[in-house]
């Protein structure tokens, strides 16, 4: 925790020193995931859910070049109002944000890095990045996957975003030795829906089992994270045909406009939300709430094992 570039919020620092449960949360969903004030309302609700389930929330961001593990209410509000004017930051961007004292909203990869610096082992998000469709030609593969191979943080998510190539994403994770766990399922969820047609490596049914597996992995010095795929609740899921049609339409428009790189995912998610009349965004919010609850319960069990 003694990092000269890192600021840990007092509540988070106290919890870590006392061995209590802490859950990391990303900030890209605030600045790039949805409009203000809905983004800030969602972020605050996620933090509330983490607290209700016995853990301390630590929303991660970069503000004025400082790495932040835990944000104040006014800092959350600032990120929400600033929106996409705040840079989307992955691993490669961190030193430049720090050196130039800029603000950054953290992706899965950069959230994992800063969480690990602070000593936080459990992270809740919506969905991980992965291998993009057509990556055989574009080589567009999210830095999230390499981070999962090297950084000791468990990522609770609703699977890989369904705008991606889920099969290739799972192959990439397997090659890099990253376990993919289905929480209460044998099948990898696909973000907006519970099914993808692809299996997971292991099925685990309780937060206690998850915590024991995580502790064993890191006690054995097996570096890297774990993907814990928590399916969206059925009542919150999208109709498979509706979401598939929307994704295909969004992908076609992205190609037509020439959108590439780190702008791809925000463009696709926004376009899918537009096409579905906001239904996909509503599902996105509900699955983040569910992941926050599971992350908090898992962090509590992991703290008990320490």
Q: Are 79 and 59 in contact (CB under 8 A)?
A: no
Which of 26, 47, 147, 301 is catalytic? The answer is 26
Active-site option among 13, 68, 88, 161: 161
Q: Is 75 considered catalytic here?
A: no
26 is catalytic: yes
Residue 208 near residue 297, CB atoms below 8 Å: no
| Catalytically annotated residues | 26, 161
């Amino acid at each position: 925790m003694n990092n000269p570039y890192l600021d840990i919020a007092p509540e988070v620092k106290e919890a870590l020193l006392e061995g209590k449960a802490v859950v990391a949360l990303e900030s890209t969903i605030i600045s790039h995931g949805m409009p203000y004030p809905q983004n800030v309302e969602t972020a605050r609700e996620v933090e509330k859910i983490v607290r209700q389930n016995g853990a301390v929330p630590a929303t991660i961001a970069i503000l004025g070049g400082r790495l932040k593990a835990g944000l104040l209410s006014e800092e959350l509000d600032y990120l929400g109002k600033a929106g996409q004017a705040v840079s989307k930051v992955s691993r490669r961007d961190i030193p430049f944000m720090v050196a130039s004292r800029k603000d950054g909203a953290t992706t899965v990869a950069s959230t994992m890095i800063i969480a690990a610096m602070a000593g936080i082992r459990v992270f809740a998000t919506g969905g991980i990045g992965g291998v993009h469709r057509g990556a055989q030609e574009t080589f567009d593969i999210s830095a999230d996957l390499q981070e999962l191979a090297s950084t000791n943080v468990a990522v609770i998510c609703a699977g890989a975003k369904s705008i991606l190539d889920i099969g290739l994403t799972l192959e990439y994770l397997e090659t890099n030795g990253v376990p993919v766990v289905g929480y209460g399922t044998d099948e990898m969820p696909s973000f907006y829906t519970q099914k993808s047609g692809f299996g997971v490596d292991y099925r685990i049914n309780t937060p206690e089992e998850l915590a024991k597996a995580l502790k064993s992995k890191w006690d054995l010095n097996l570096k890297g994270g774990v993907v814990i795929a928590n399916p969206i609740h059925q009542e919150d899921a999208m109709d498979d045909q509706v979401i598939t049609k929307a994704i295909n339409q969004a992908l076609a428009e992205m190609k037509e406009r020439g959108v590439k790189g780190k702008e791809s995912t925000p463009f696709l998610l926004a376009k899918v939300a537009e096409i579905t009349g906001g239904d996909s965004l509503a599902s996105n919010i509900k699955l983040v709430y569910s992941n926050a609850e599971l992350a908090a319960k898992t962090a509590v069990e992991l703290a008990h094992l320490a």
